[in-house]
Chain A
Amino acid sequence: QVRLQASGPGLVKPSETLSLTCSVSGGSSSRHCWTWNRQPPGKGLEFIAYICNDGNTNYNPSLENRVTVSADTSKTQISLQVTSVTAADTAVYYCARLAIPPSGTYHVHDYWGQGILVTVSP
């Protein structure tokens, strides 16, 4: 069973760096990518970035200059860093696995973590 668990501080001060880790168990191969999305309170979902097990990365241009996504060598710890945070970065942050489904031709979010609320406040 694939399991993703996001962890990190729930409170970050403005102008500091938000750092989260997604721990993956039960399903990681060269075919998979890992994505971070976020959801501000009461709002919709926003793509942040993804990293594939072959090292390929992709970032949302609106956040690209503040965001870094990385993975450890075993591809079981996926990290997200967002620098110079403001109140607008307050959100539930989700990590998810991207995989190509049966008869599919692109990666879809097939497993999601439970989400972690990060609040930016003094």
Chain B
Amino acid sequence: DIVMTQSPLSLPVTPGEPASISCRSSQSLQRSNGDNFLDWYLQKPGQSPQLLIYLGSTRASGVPDRFSGSGSGTDFTLKISRVEAEDVGVYYCMQAHQAPRTFGQGTRVEIK
């Protein structure tokens, strides 16, 4: 199985400040056409996860543009340009390159 490793596991943030989460995979997630099979999900407190980013950098419908995804191969980053209070929760990266799909451990984002 592909192992997904996120860092940090906990991220205290100040509203209005930027935040960044790293996700590394044990194998490349890039296909021959250049697509990276990597998603980011946010699980807000008490809720089910919701899709933020797919293909490593494409925002899902309705996701604010303060969220951005970047990276390729084995190294990926989720950035929030200016954190808002509603962004708190646990962020997960997930690879869809190889079965079985695997998730990172999660990064808990909380307001300082």
Contacts and interface: CB of A to CB of B under 8 A. Distances in A.
Contacts, number: 61
Given A61-B100, A101-B54, A106 B106 contact: no
Contacts of B72: none
A45 interface: yes
Label chain A's interface by main secondary structure: loop
A30 interface: no
Contacts of A44: 92, 103-106
Given A44-B92, A44-B105, A58-B100, A108 B48 contact: no
A58 B51 contact: no
Contact of B48 (A62, A105, A115): A115
B100 A47 contact: yes
Contact of A112 (B35, B50, B94): B50
Interface in A80-106: 94, 96, 101-106
**Chain A interface residue bracket vs B:** 20 to 34
Label chain B's interface by main secondary structure: loop
Interface string B33-68: 101010101000000111100110010110000000
A70 interface: no
A117 to B, nearest CB: 12
B102 A109 contact: no
A60 interface: yes
A110 interface: yes
Nearest to A58: B99
Contacts of B96: 106-108
A54 interface: no
B58 A109 contact: no
10 contacts: A44-B92, A45-B106, A94-B49, A101-B58, A102-B61, A104-B54, A107-B96, A108-B60, A110-B51, A113-B48
